[in-house]
Copies of this chain bind each other. A is one copy, B any other.
Amino acid sequence: MNKISEEMIALGSTRSVIRELFEFGKVRAAQVGAENVFDFSIGNPSVPPPAIVTETALDLLQNSDPVALHGYTSAQGDASVRAAIAGDLTARFGMAYSADELYLTVGAAAALCCAFKALTCPGDEFVVLAPYFPEYKVFIESVGAKMTVVPAQPADFQIDFDALDRVIGPNTKGVVVNSPNNPSGVVYSPETCKKLADLLRAKSAQFGHTVWLISDEPYREIVYGNTQVSWLPSLYRDTLVCYSYSKSLSLPGERLGYVLVPSASPDAERLYAAVAGAGRALGYVCAPSLFQRIAAKCVGCTADLTVYAKNRALLLEAFAAYGYPCVAPEGAFYLFPRTLEEDDLAFCERAKEFDLLLVPGSGFGCPGHMRISYCVPTERILRSLPAFEKLAKRYH
């Protein structure tokens, strides 16, 4: 047996909980019919892209020079695409951005990897706030940094500032936030964002170096009611925004996103170069060219999110009735109720007896909870409600 990277073997062989649920679901579907298996495990948008995406794709394919359309763009992305996105950000967030502050990436995962690799020096740590997207750990450790976790504040899933204050130390290179949040769905309040900015300024002063804010924002446009998502660069200068079109335009498989390196930061020029260097070192030649052009034509558009709003309302109402304690979150397409026993893994195993596929909170650094992805057909929600009710009756 030859030596190859055991770390990579481990990363590639670990079957995720979600993958296990998927396999279980396939077996059950064969037994009881797919319509009777209630899979709430996958965060894949269930609504199509807005019509303008397909229309633009057809137009570009039919009416533009195919050599240019499918050719390499510059490594940071096509200049006119970056200008269109910068213009949209400028219009929406009241701060002037230029094309040169944007680095287009192969999705948000690539954006995060480039950001972490650009920032990391030996000994650096990044702080994440539970509940958090589990791949953060993979990305952070892959560039040689260490991940430190701030425990969740389950009453409202805003930030536990006492805990965050204790965790940020001299080796903290940055803090990663994700609002609207996967898995909780919670949007940080303006007050939370302001306190976060104040704390990071104080910590930067205390340690004599910038503590960066890495804002992972794939769900930025997926909010309910009149919710406003704070624009963090307006509150904290040294913010890197990592974005993806996966959720807003329902294009998760097409892999398009960006890193915004606001020029307000005194380190912006070097950091932008480092992000580009990281993209090169990680093998990202450029973001997919056709979808770069599509994104430029679809700035400010989103898929039709009304089905998510409907699903969310149905589930929140049902959970209140059946006795699942649940923060009513204002964004993304996840709910994160408390499980009805402390052991969330045992609870989610029990749920499978009712053909409910739910993801335990432990994987998100927040035991005692379960993630419910409601980016599913409303029909599935409606059919699943009796199962949720029966499951609750086991406990109450």
Please report A residues at the B interface, Cβ cutoff 8 Å: 1-5, 7-13, 44-49, 54, 57-58, 61-62, 65-67, 69-73, 106-107, 109-110, 112-114, 117-121, 135, 138-139, 142, 209-210, 250-255, 266-267, 270-292
Contact = CB atoms under 8 A, between A and B. Distances in A.
A255 B255 CA distance: 10
25 contacts: A3-B121, A4-B118, A5-B117, A5-B277, A9-B277, A11-B278, A12-B275, A12-B278, A12-B279, A45-B67, A45-B71, A46-B67, A49-B66, A57-B61, A70-B250, A106-B284, A107-B285, A109-B283, A109-B284, A109-B285, A135-B280, A139-B283, A253-B289, A288-B288, A290-B290
Given A58-B58, A288-B255, A289-B253, A273 B12 contact: yes
A107 B270 CA distance: 27
Given A119-B5, A281-B138, A290 B70 contact: no
B255 A286 contact: yes
Most buried by B among A7, A9, A253: A253
Given A277-B13, A284-B110, A71 B8 contact: no
Contact of A142 (B3, B120, B275, B282): B282
Contacts of A112: 283
B44 A138 contact: no
Chief secondary structure at chain A's binding surface? helix
A45 B7 CA distance: 37
B3 A277 contact: no
A20 B41 CA distance: 50
A12 B67 contact: no
A291 B142 CA distance: 28
B58 A210 contact: no
Complex A-B, nearest 10 residue pairs according to Cβ-Cβ distance, in ascending order: A253-B289, A12-B277, A11-B277, A113-B283, A12-B276, A8-B277, A12-B273, A8-B274, A142-B281, A48-B66
B274 A67 contact: no
A73 B253 CA distance: 6
B282 A282 contact: yes
Contacts of A138: 280-281
Contacts of A120: 5
Contacts of A272: 12
A104 to B, nearest CB: 11
Nearest to A112: B283
A5 B274 contact: yes
Given A70-B254, A290-B291, 19 more contacts: A1-B267, A4-B119, A4-B271, A5-B121, A8-B281, A9-B277, A12-B277, A12-B279, A48-B66, A54-B66, A70-B250, A71-B252, A106-B255, A110-B284, A142-B282, A253-B288, A253-B290, A288-B291, A290-B290
Contact of A280 (B11, B62, B107): B11
Nearest to A292: B253
B274 A4 contact: yes
B109 A7 contact: no
A67 B375 CA distance: 12
